[in-house]
Amino acid sequence: MSSDDWYRNEEWSEEIESKFFEKLKRARRKEQYLRIQACTIARRAPDVALSLLDQYFELSDDFDHAQAYCDMAAAYIAKGEIENAINSYGKALERESAFPNLKTDAYILYPLLIVENKLTNLYQSASEVLDNHQERLMFPVDHFRWHAAKAIISAENGNNEQAANHAAQAFDAAQIKKSGFRFHQKLGLVGKEYKGVVNELRAIHA
């Protein structure tokens, strides 16, 4: 890792931590570096990420709060603390509502987390978030996740025809092999991490 990437460590140790905070002490935009490092390490070292984010929120610059809440959610998911993750995505959405110029993927990650964990008491909330942000869909993976979540919610509500229709559209998005962006053809495609969702969609589509 180059010296310019001192705040993007993918591993964490006492030595890395010491060097990170040594650099951070001299940095002007401490908030930015704390959040980016937390994001980078969230899934591998969630406790470290949450500690860094606690320090981020103690500082004065609130420019990136919505994304910071999403990073916090990722760390909680890694720890298996789904309720805390849901709450963090909720805070991200609230922040976006107050400051709409700064957007995150919370609008799609919040509903997807709800349906993946069968939190049926939150399905109405998830559906409303999906409907309110449908115009933001851009990449194939966005369309896949949106329609997948709607399919699962529709199936739970007994709307089988609607559920099958959403499942079919999710599969269509999953089959796309090029993003349509000239220099980033692999960007935003559906990956293997959605295998469990795909299996559920097959059952709905059948």
| Model confidence at 3: pLDDT above 70 | no
- Supply the pTM of this predicted model: 0.92
Q: 2's torsion region: left (phi>0), alpha (psi -120 to 50) or beta?
A: beta
Q: What is the pLDDT of residues 89-123, one digit of tens each?
A: 999 999 999 999 899 999 999 999 999 999 999 99
Q: Residue 137: what pLDDT?
A: 95
First-to-last CA distance in the chain?
Answer: 48
CA dist 138 and 184 (Å) reads: 13
How confident is the model over 26-85, as pLDDT tens digits? Answer: 998 899 999 999 999 999 999 999 999 999 999 988 889 999 999 999 999 999 999 999
127-177, pLDDT tens digit by residue?
999 999 999 999 999 999 999 999 999 999 999 999 999 999 999 999 998
Q: Residue 50: what pLDDT?
A: 98
